[in-house]
Amino acid sequence: MSKVQIVNTSALGPMISRVQTDAVLSICAQLKSIAAPLIPILHAVQEQIGFVPKEAVPLIARELNLSIAEVHGVVSFYHYFRQDPGGRHIVHLCRAEACQAVGAPALEAHAKRSLGVDFHGTTRDGAIRLEPVYCLGNCALGPSIMIDHELHGRVSAQRFDELIKDTRADAAGKR
C-alpha cells in the first residue's frame, strides 16, 4: 500500500485518499463509454487499489449515472470484489470437490493454522490475505491455490509454507 495523504472528501465519505479518488475517476473516464461498464470498472479499481473502497461506490455511481444501491448491489454480489483493504498478496485456496478428493480440507486447515487467520482474514504483518475459491481449473493436479494471479498445483502443507515464505519475501515490493 502506497503511503498517501488522507484527505476528507466530505460528501464522498471520510477516508478515501486523493490518489485513490483520482484513480477511480480516471478509470471511470476511461471506461464509461463502453457497453455495460460497471463490472469492468470495478475490476480496474480493484486491480489498481487492491480492493473496492466503500467510498468509491458513490463516486462510481455518480460517474455512471446509477444509484448507489445499484453499484453496491453489484459489488456485494460477486465474491471476487473485496471492500476492505488488507493483504498485499491474496491467496485463493480451492475448496471444490476435485481438490477435496486429494486433501484440500487438510490443506485448508493447515493454511488457516499456519497463517493464523480464517477465510477473508489477513495475516498480522499485512502480507497475506486468505480467500476460498471454488475451482481454479487445475482439477487433475490438486490441491490447488492461486497466489495473486499465479496458479500452483499439487500443493502439500510443506509446499504451501515454502510458497508463503517466498511470497512474504517479495511482499515489500508490491502494492
Partner 1 sequence: MTTRIHVPRDAAARSLGADATARAILAEGQRRGLDIEVVRNGSRGLLWLEPLVEVTTPAGRIAYGPVTPQDVPGLFDAGFITGAKHALSHGPTQEIPYFKNQERLTFARVGITDPRSLEDYIAHGGYRGLKNALDMEPAAIVAAVTTSGLRGRGGAAFPAGIKWKTVLGASADQKYIVCNADEGDSGTFSDRMVMEGDPFVLIEGMTIAGVAVGATRGYIYLRWEYPDANAALKAAIAAASEKHYLGENILGTGKRFDLEVRSGAGAYVCGEETSLLESLESKRGMVRFKPPLPAIQGLFGKPTVINNVITLASVPIILDQGADHYQHFGMGRSRGTLPIQLAGNIKHGGLVEKAFGVTLRELLYDYGGGSLSGRPIRTVQVGGPLGAYLPESQFDVKLDYEAFTEIKGMLGHGGIVVFDDTVDMAAQARYAMEFCAIESCGKCTPCRIGSTRGMEVIDRLIAGNNPAKQEKLLRDLCDTMTFGSLCALGGLTAYPVLSAINHFPEDFVTSARTRVPA
Between 86 and 125, how does the x/- string for binding to partner 1 read (CB under 8 A)? ------x---xxxxxxx--x--------------------
Q: Provide, for the chain, the percentages of residues in helix, strand and coil under a 3-state DSSP scheme, each rounded to the nearest 5.
A: 45, 15, 45
Q: Does 73 bind partner 1 (CB under 8 A)?
A: yes
Minimum CB distance to partner 1, residue 169 (Å): 17
Q: Which is nearer to partner 1, 19 or 31 (CB)?
A: 31
Q: Does 147 bind partner 1 (CB under 8 A)?
A: no
Roughly how many angstroms between the first and final C-alpha of the chain, as a whole number?
5
Amino acid at site 112: K
Strand-pair category, 128-133 with 16-17: unpaired
Q: Out of 140, 156, 170, 174, point to the residue binding partner 1 (CB under 8 A).
A: 140
CB 24 within 8 A of CB 2: no
Amino acid at site 67: S
Q: Which is nearer to partner 1, 11 or 34 (CB)?
A: 34
Amino acid at site 115: L
Q: How far apart are CA 1 and CA 39, in angstroms?
A: 23
Q: Does 78 bind partner 1 (CB under 8 A)?
A: yes
Q: Which is nearer to partner 1, 79 or 124 (CB)?
A: 79
Q: Does 43 bind partner 1 (CB under 8 A)?
A: yes
